[in-house]
């Protein structure tokens, strides 16, 4: 069981979490946080653990620390936790960040890395109610303008089990293919399918993709079939990608924010919304056949 205490810590004694899976806030969001800190100070304490040489490792509050530095502060309020395992630290890092960030603003690769880290830590450690209680007590508010509702910020993310499963698979893609997914060069479903190819085969796919050669699930299904036969070569990859896919003929449809707001809220991820819409359409077409 870990212990905790509240104290003020000099910013110069803080070091970032060694395996932090999240990216820093973008310039605009960080600038908004700096303005908030200048006006109100750091309202919510960061969470840290003591490390060697009198330093403290940040578990929750990397962006608050950066904002505090830019705002000219020298110290910051902190909750110091000791006797934590690495998995307990990772759970604090991931759970606090999932509560603070908009999933829609995260890259696919970033979300995959975070979900994978949380999943692995949870499997090894199991849920710790005392850690979760601490997370609930220390919600991020400094990133919002004064007067923003804490309850809105603390609203749980709704990510379907199917989406989590997909992102765990995305974590198995080579970095080059993850970068292509971040650039929206193919769909999440296609990325999930690609993850079943080994690293060598994934590299062949990456090397064969061009702006003119889009890849779809049907292409990957054919690649996986060749892989199972042990016959997937660079030449075969190029041949498969050259084949036209029926998916390429379907033009994407964008729903207006007004339409989506009738059924969903801003905290729900795109993948969650897609899953709900997909299920609704399946039921609709099933009713049409009845």
pLDDT in tens, 2-26: 567 899 999 999 999 988 888 888 8
DSSP label at 12?
G
Element (H, E) at 288: helix 270-289
Please report which confidence band the pLDDT of residue 126 belongs to, taking 50, 70 and 90 as the band edges: low
Is residue 21 classed exposed, middle or buried when 0-12, 13-18 and 19+ CB atoms within 10 A define those classes? buried
Residues of each domain in the chain carrying CATH 3.90.1530.10:
3-146
Tokens 């199972």 -> residue = 228
Report if pTM > 0.75.
Answer: no
Average pLDDT over the chain reads 82
Neighbours of 222 (CB within 10 A): 18
In 3D, which of 110, 98, 117, 92 has the Cα closest to residue 4?
A: 92
Would you place residue 139 in the very low, low, confident or very high pLDDT band (cuts 50, 70, 90)? very low
Please state, in angstroms and rounded to a whole number, the distance separating the CA atoms of residues 129 and 107.
29
Given CATH 3.90.1530.10, say whether it is the number of domain 3-146: yes
């Amino acid at each position: 069981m870990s212990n905790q205490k509240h104290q003020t810590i000099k910013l110069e004694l803080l070091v970032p979490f060694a395996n932090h899976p999240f990216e820093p806030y973008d310039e605009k969001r960080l600038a908004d946080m700096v303005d908030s800190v200048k006006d109100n100070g750091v309202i919510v304490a960061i969470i840290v653990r003591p490390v060697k040489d009198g330093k403290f490792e940040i578990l929750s509050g990397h962006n608050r620390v950066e904002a505090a530095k830019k705002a000219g502060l020298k110290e910051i309020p902190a909750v110091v936790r000791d006797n934590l395992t690495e998995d307990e630290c990772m759970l604090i890092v991931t759970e606090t960040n999932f509560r603070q960030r908009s999933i829609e603003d995260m890259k696919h690769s970033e979300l995959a890395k975070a979900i994978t880290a949380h999943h692995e830590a949870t499997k090894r450690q199991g849920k710790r109610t005392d850690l979760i209680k601490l997370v609930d007590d220390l919600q991020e508010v400094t990133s919002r303008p004064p007067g923003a509702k804490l309850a809105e910020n603390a609203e749980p993310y709704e990510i379907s089990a199917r989406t989590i499963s997909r992102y765990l698979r995305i974590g198995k893609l080579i970095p080059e293919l993850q970068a292509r997914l971040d650039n929206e060069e193919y769909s999440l479903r296609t990325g999930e399918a690609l993850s079943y190819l080994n690293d060598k085969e994934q590299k062949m796919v990456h090397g064969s993709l061009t702006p003119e050669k889009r890849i779809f699930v049907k292409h990957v299904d054919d690649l996986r079939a060749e892989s199972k036969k042990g016959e997937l070569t660079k030449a075969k990859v190029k041949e498969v990608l050259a084949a036209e896919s029926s998916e390429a003929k379907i033009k994407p449809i964008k729903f207006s924010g007004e339409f989506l707001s009738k059924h969903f809220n801003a905290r729900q991820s795109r993948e969650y919304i897609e899953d709900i819409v997909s299920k609704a359409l399946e039921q609709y077409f099933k009713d049409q056949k009845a």
